[in-house]
Amino acid sequence: MKVAVVLSGCGVFDGAEIHESVLTLLALSRAGVEVQCMAPNVAQKQVINHLTGEEAKGEGRNVLVEAARIARGNIIDIAKANPKDYAAVFFPGGFGAAKNLCDFAFKGSDCTVQPDVLRFAQGMAELKKPACYICIAPAMIPRIYGKGAELTIGTDAGTADKIGAMGGQHRQCPVTEFVVDKARNIVSTPAYMLANNIGEAATGIEKAVKATLELVHA
């Protein structure tokens, strides 16, 4: 079985959340699953100094190049990925999911999904292949699957309201659990939207990965 893991850079504040990405990759490896990491070949919307938390004005980075750090270089441009080649897709969180994969961080309920990401994600959806969205990444779900899709980002009311305005059906969920939209084969889990430490994030991610892989065989 071969699955896709879509990364959004490298670093919680401007790219893929590293803990969530590694935990996802580890769970997949332990399940004996072949993984292909991918990311859009586009400029990051922001570069954040992770020591100070401040934006590094005038500094630019590429999402695919930065994501290659997590993938140890084994990564492809998502624009070249064919949904038919993958049994499932996984989207770790981090602000990059809301800044680079879509612009939810800037536009809220008026957001759009990056075109290459949208093409691949909708292609997976049309083929009814399972998808797992982690942390803030589920904010993309209403734009990919349309109104009525069930998902969770945990318990944050403000974010849930914005997702509701897009037509998503938000379900509150603790950090160690996950939500499944059985009609659409979508799994989502809060991870660092709620997690106080890497152990809490790991519990929910490991369960969500297992549930997603089970949908492949359902």
Cα 173 from Cα 201, distance rounded (Å): 13
Q: Active-site residue among 10, 111, 135, 173?
A: 135
Cα 185 from Cα 46, distance rounded (Å): 32
Cα 209 from Cα 87, distance rounded (Å): 13
Residue with tokens 């490896």: 29
Residue 63, classed as helix, strand or coil, is: helix
Find the length of the chain: 218
In this structure, is the dihedral angle defined by the CA atoms of residues 22, 24, 27 and 28, taken in order, positive or negative?
Answer: negative
Cα 160 from Cα 170, distance rounded (Å): 6
Question: What is the pairing mode between strands 34-39 and 2-6?
Answer: parallel
Helix or strand run (H / E) with residue 151? strand 150-151
135 catalytic? Reply is yes
Residues sharing a CB contact under 8 Å with residue 143, sequence separation 6 or more, in sequence order: 102, 111, 112, 113, 118, 166
- Give catalytic residue positions: 135
